Amino acid sequence: MRKLFSLLFAATVLSLMSSCKDKDNGETPSETEKGKILISYPWKMSQVTDLSGKTIPSNQLNAQTQYIPALEIQFVTGNKVYAKDEALQVQNGGTWYLVNNNGTLNIDIIGFEGEFGVEELTNSKMRLRSKMPVSGVEQETIMVFAPVIK
């Protein structure tokens, strides 16, 4: 009888221990496909267009927007983002999140912050929709980025 109670006790303890295991078996959730593309490369803004695709000359953009092409924007795992100058010195850092079912890229970095509509995100191009001043008038634009492949 004593052996039966010992066996029953051991079985109960093992049962309790196994039920306390981590439910996801230690696996981390996988990133979305867009998130994987975003962190695969640094990105550099190549142009700003209107909604029809016509390039907006840089002299019509504000100084803050004119400075963005001089930076490499590096999105990294853990939702960190860094802006590096041409000497690859980090000028600024912050956070990024894909939200609204991956339709919006929320960037929080001084000088380049806001919620940007993700119009396109592939291995060869990123197009982000934003409102910005063009010749002093706020309008919808598309910022076009290309990956920096080294």
Residue 149 has pLDDT above 90, yes or no: no
Query: Who contacts 93 (Cβ-Cβ below 8 Å, separation ≥6)?
Result: 80, 81, 82, 83, 109
Neighbour tally for 65: CB within 10 Å? 21
pLDDT number for residue 98? 94
Distance separating alpha carbons of residues 116 and 131, to the nearest angstrom: 9
pLDDT computed for residue 89 by the predictor: 75
Separation of alpha carbons 30 and 62, rounded Å: 38
* Three-class SS state of 32: coil
**CA–CA gap between residue 82 and residue 106 (Å, rounded):** 14
Report how far residue 61's alpha carbon sits from residue 111's, in angstroms, rounded to the nearest whole number. Answer: 14
With bands split at pLDDT 50, 70 and 90, how would you rate the model's confidence at 13? Answer: very low
E strands within the chain? 42-49, 72-76, 80-84, 90-99, 104-108, 114-121, 126-134, 137-147
CB 48 within 8 A of CB 135: no
pLDDT in tens, 51-90: 999 999 999 999 888 888 888 999 999 999 998 887 777 7
| pTM, entire model | 0.76
